[in-house]
Chain A
Amino acid sequence: MKAFSFERAIDAAQAAKRAFEMPGSKFIAGGTNLLDLMKHEIEVPPHLIDVTHIGLDEITATDDGGLRIGALVSNTALGADERIRRDYPVLSRALFAGASSQLRNKASTGGNLLQRTRCPYFFDPKMPCNKREPGAGCAALDEGADTRQLGVIGTSDHCIATHPSDMAVALRVLDAEVETIDPEGRTRRLTLDEFYLLPDDTPEVENALSPGEIITAVVLPAPVGGTQRYFKVRDRASYAFALVSVALIEQENGEGRVALGGVAPRPWRRDDADAELANGATAVMAKLLDGARPTPDNAYKLVLAERTLAALLAKE
């Protein structure tokens, strides 16, 4: 870990401003991803801005019947919130499927969205990785590499990593939006598809945040009801990242929404795939995974995604 200076921010606007003034600085919330990466010198911020005392740790009702989740609400608090459990159960489920109790107690809503990939080569500073070091090459693309956990769709010739968040998959299926404030004090809202960028030839650029811009909240639209489920498939029963996960909202009339985790650089959802829901898992995946480019080691994820959705749709 490289040395850094440290300050505690008092509110979001000030934090954003300070971040802009200190190039290369990073916000630190729970620290569960940032410190992990700093120890490996994958992240080397010269300055840290502690945002754990800027407030934003509440969940409040919005005018249109939704909820506004402060960026510093912990994953535990969010998952355990009664309104979330009642009206957005898929989010609660996704949160509790992630990490461990200890980590969820620290992990924040903003930090969870911004956690970086678990690609083993990204995590090993000695390996070439375009995401870590633009232009260095991608160790995962070499023949013989370990790609079992990596992405099958939305990837590029420069990077095939996935986004590891469970929470984000549920947020995507709920059409949540990310709210930010920038150093000038301007706020904006982004859908998750606007927020997360695909790698193309710049895998190091993962999201639409501009320098200094800070996440203040995640906004959930009014509850959509339906049966909401999150199915996370992994090798061991707990404390493991998803091989594939499926967030599903099913309405009585057979309509619904599906988002996938563990397969792409962002939570993966398509409207035309949602539209196929009444036609079953195979039809949904034909659309949702159209254009997939798996490796021989992770092609199973295509089958697994389909079967996982089928498991959710099966009434047994």
Chain B
Amino acid sequence: MDFNQSADENLFDRARIIGKPHKRIDGALKVTGTAPYAYERNDVVENHLVGYPLGASIAKGRITRMDAAAARNAEGVAAVITALDIDELPRADSNVAKLFGGDLVEHYHQAIAVVVAETLEQARAATSLIEVEYEETPGEFDLDDAWKRLQDRDVINEVGDVDAAFERAEVSIDEIYHTASQSHAMMEPHASIADWCDGKHLTLWTSNQMIAWSKKALATTLELDEADIRLESPFVGGGFGGKLWLRADAVLAALGSRETGRPVKVALPRPFIFNNATHRSGTVQRLRIAANKDGRITAFDHSAISHTLPGGSGEDAVNQTRCFYAGENRRVAHHAIDMNLPEAADMRAPGEASGLAVLEIAMDEMAEKLGLDPVEFRILNDTQVNPEEPHKRYSDRHFVECLQKGSEAFGWRERNKVPGSRREGQWLIGQGVAGAYRGAITMDSGARVRLSQGKLVVETDMTDIGTGSYTIIAQTVAETMGVTMDEVEVRLGNSAYPVSSGSGGQFGAASSTAGVYAACLALQEEIGKRLSIESPRFENGRVVSGDQDLGLFEIEGEELVGEDTLHFGDFQDEIELGTFGAHFVEVAVNAYTGETRLRRMLSVCDAGRILNPITARSQVLGGMVMSIGAALSESLSIDTARGFFANHDLAGYEIAVHADIPEQEVIFLDTLDGASTPLKAKGVGELGICGGAAAVANAMYNATGIRLRDYPLTLDRMLDRLPAI
């Protein structure tokens, strides 16, 4: 099915099920611990061995010698495969660092061996018996150094005359900001069980967001035919972008299986999540904003750098600055600096999460300089067109309403306007606001729906990484086919099913439900043919056309199948599709110690039709939590002497704990975006993390009068500026 123009009024506008709160249909499995995650597939795999990886202990260089004799002789060990035993495996397009093989070391904890043994205890112990010698080469690990060195940054785009605008500017700011490198730190480590016993057909039970991409990457990496690969990933214990790609767990498990002739399972040990897997690159950003005295922005000049291994793209923090606010003159530049840290790649809202963390502080600074309320200042500079290409209109943008509704609900008007002047005991209290924006990408998505033995079975390789895919897909089928939720069975995350959008870039929910809708229509057509009726209606479990009225599940004959892929047409290139939001935060900062604790946070979201307010709300809550972590504590600390992230565990890398999270509230605007999908939906999975960190920073400024521009906003950055004791 082609989606070539905005959706008109359709069945979803009269929805019974879509857009209504439905509890997760996979809930019972999850609360009882019976949902099978990758490492636990005892239901389908027998007689497996356990693999344990060894990571490189240098950041850059070559392995000159590996001696695995002792490991091979260790108790229970079935095989040891070292990087020197095999040539470098071909890299898939989506992998920057190599995953395994050959003497080259590109980053710390790169996998350089896997030990396969009967038990975890045996495999783990044997890895440390492997002797490794390296020839180290100096590497590049310091982003600030690179910033200082860098003269000409790539200009992505310039509109108008930015330099002239700054010369003329009545009010302007020009500041440098830092965001930290961050880890996805999903709770389920990357894990895979591989059965490649015959060296030809590979079955991989894994934890992955993108089945089709990973199958392709596996084919390249292991030099296999895609047809010989099967991937299953029905439950994913969190991904946040960290499981978009093929990673070492899968490759090592496969190699181990081929070598031993038995299925092998490998989970990345927790420290590997930080240095072996991918992360979000830190950034250095310079942001200049110019405005007239009346508060109208005349120019933006935003440049940023991030780090990447050679060949990667880093973290593009300037993207949102191109389109979020009005202003005639604008320039953005992003430079991905080649460095020898582990592989930087996408993490939840890649680009925007870091970019808005900065842009939205800068907006606060501007508002202050202009003497305007930060909410008013943002409203004043709203735009309904892409300011770089004004002929492109936003399909549906209610940013102003987000700000207004949020102000009201939060009680913004009553806030204290003089920074540092509201104190309750030892605590300085402040409130802050920030805008949120994230593009609403769509991706072609396919599905198959089968009318089978009293139920509708929907199959798609879409994944549920906690996003609620199972539930919203069931809702889509139930709505479209006129049945109840109980009558739908959803099967996900299997390469045997039609290729979907997968889960990433907050495109999953909107795209995959559109694909499922297309498949439902295909099934309806098949049903029509079988019954020889014209344009039947599907309601209350019945197929109705003219005077025909038959129970859907009473249709006789062979199983009926509808399969289709929803293709998103080019018309979307000519409009701006986005999601918008506003965050409001209240913090308390200890006037003595500088500890910052949130008191409450409200986010208002404009993201088209909310398919399921329960699961969508959870997505936004989760994004907010992650933005609080990003604001206050998350930082991969780079050891620039040795080139690795030193705090590579969950005690050292501090994500928000329960006690960090105060009252949270989410408001969804009642909006529809027919240009996005037939369901008029857009994603919300990443919107929640966009801008939240800046709202915290701005609230801290309001509390203390101290402007912090470097994340995380830890107390050591402000102790010297807190009130004297």
Contacts and interface: CB of A to CB of B under 8 A. Distances in A.
Interface string A114-131: 000010110111110000
> Chain A: interface secondary structure?
loop
B662 to A, nearest CB: 10
Contact of A146 (B125, B639, B714): B639
B648 interface: yes
A241 interface: yes
Interface in A62-86: none
Name, among B141, B593, B648, the residue most crowded by chain A CB atoms within 10 Å (CB to CB). B593
A237 B659 contact: yes
A314 B719 contact: no
A1 interface: yes
B634 to A, nearest CB: 9
A236 interface: yes
A221 B83 CA distance: 60
A46 to B, nearest CB: 13
A116 to B, nearest CB: 13
B28 interface: no
A282 B725 CA distance: 9
A133 B75 CA distance: 26
B27 interface: no
Interface stretch (A179-187, A262-270, A299-307): A299-307
B44 interface: no
A250 to B, nearest CB: 16
B425 interface: yes
B715 interface: yes
A167 interface: no
A101 B592 CA distance: 28
A2 B595 CA distance: 41
Interface in B572-616: 590, 592-595, 597
Given A124-B646, A236-B657, A314 B593 contact: no
A239 B57 CA distance: 29
B597 A237 contact: yes
B722 interface: yes
Interface residues of A, number: 43
Given A145-B639, A308-B592, A238 B659 contact: yes
A148 B716 contact: yes
Contacts of B386: none
Given A1-B121, A142-B641, A310-B592, A238 B657 contact: yes
B641 A143 contact: yes
Interface string B125-163: 100100000000000011000000000000000000000
B646 A145 contact: yes
Nearest to A127: B642
A314 B658 CA distance: 29
Nearest to B142: A144
B720 A121 contact: no
A102 to B, nearest CB: 13
Given A148-B716, A237-B660, A239-B657, A41 B128 contact: yes
Interface in A227-251: 231, 233-241, 243
A316 interface: yes
Contacts of A241: 651
A118 B722 CA distance: 29
A175 B188 CA distance: 44
Given A306-B725, A311-B426, A120 B652 contact: yes
Interface string A249-290: 000000000000000000000000000000001100000000
B720 A303 contact: yes
Nearest to A239: B657
Contact of B632 (A233, A235, A308): A235
Contacts of B75: 3
B652 A236 contact: no
A148 B637 contact: yes
B125 A311 contact: no
B641 A310 contact: no
B633 interface: yes
Given A120-B646, A237-B660, A307 B128 contact: no
A139 B640 CA distance: 11
Contacts of A310: 592, 725
Interface string B36-75: 0000000000000000000101000000000000000001
A3 B128 CA distance: 12
B286 interface: no
B313 to A, nearest CB: 26
A123 B639 contact: no
Nearest to B122: A3
A307 B125 contact: no
A143 B658 CA distance: 35
A307 B632 contact: no
B657 A235 contact: no
A161 B638 CA distance: 18
Nearest to A121: B646
A314 B642 contact: no
B657 A237 contact: yes
Closest 5 CB pairs of A and B: A144-B640, A311-B592, A144-B641, A126-B57, A300-B716
Given A282-B725, A303-B720, 7 more contacts: A121-B646, A123-B652, A144-B640, A145-B641, A145-B642, A231-B593, A233-B715
29 contacts: A41-B125, A41-B128, A118-B651, A118-B652, A120-B647, A120-B648, A124-B646, A125-B128, A126-B55, A139-B641, A143-B640, A148-B716, A233-B595, A236-B654, A236-B657, A237-B659, A239-B659, A240-B651, A281-B725, A300-B715, A306-B725, A307-B594, A307-B719, A310-B592, A310-B725, A311-B590, A314-B592, A316-B425, A316-B426
Interface of B: 55, 57, 75, 121, 124-125, 128, 141-142, 271, 425-426, 590, 592-595, 597, 632-633, 637-642, 646-649, 651-652, 654, 656-660, 712, 714-716, 719-720, 722, 725
